[in-house]
Amino acid sequence: MHETALIDGVLAAIPYAGKLGVTARLDKNGTLTCTLPFHENHIGNAQLPALHGGGLASFLEITSVLQLARQQAAIQDIKTPEDLRHIVPLPVNVTVQYLRSAGALPCYAEAKVLKLGRRTSTVFCQTWQDDETKPVTSMTGVFIQPKS
Partner 1 sequence: MTQTELVFPTLPGIDITPVFQDSRSPMGQHIGLVYMGFGDKRICTGLKWDDSLVGNAETGVLHGGVVTAMIDETAGGASVLATDYKFSVATIDLRVDYMRPAQPRQNLYCTAYIYRLTRRVAFFNAEAFHDDPTKPIAVGTGTFMVGANDSVPDLLGSPFRASQDEGDSHA
Residues that bind partner 1 (CB under 8 A): 12-19, 40-48, 50-55, 57-62, 85, 88, 90-98, 101
Question: Quick check: helix, strand or coil at residue 50?
Answer: strand
47 burial via Cβ count (<10 Å: 0-12, 13-18, 19+): exposed
Q: Which residue's CB is nearer to partner 1, number 32 or number 139?
A: 139
What is the number of alpha carbons within 13 Å of residue 1 lying toward its C-beta? 25
CB of residue 118 vs partner 1: minimum separation in angstroms? 20
Q: Which residue's CB is nearer to partner 1, number 1 or number 13?
A: 13
Q: Which residue's CB is nearer to partner 1, number 48 or number 74?
A: 48
Of residues 54, 24, 55, 53, the one with CA closest to residue 39: 55
CB of residue 28 vs partner 1: minimum separation in angstroms? 29
CB of residue 135 vs partner 1: minimum separation in angstroms? 14
**Can you tell me the distance from the alpha carbon of 8 to that of 34, in angstroms, rounded to the nearest whole number?**
12
Q: Which residue's CB is nearer to partner 1, number 5 or number 12?
A: 12
CB of residue 59 vs partner 1: minimum separation in angstroms? 7
User: Quick check: 135 and 100 in contact, CB under 8 A?
Assistant: yes
84: Cα separation from own chain's centroid: 16
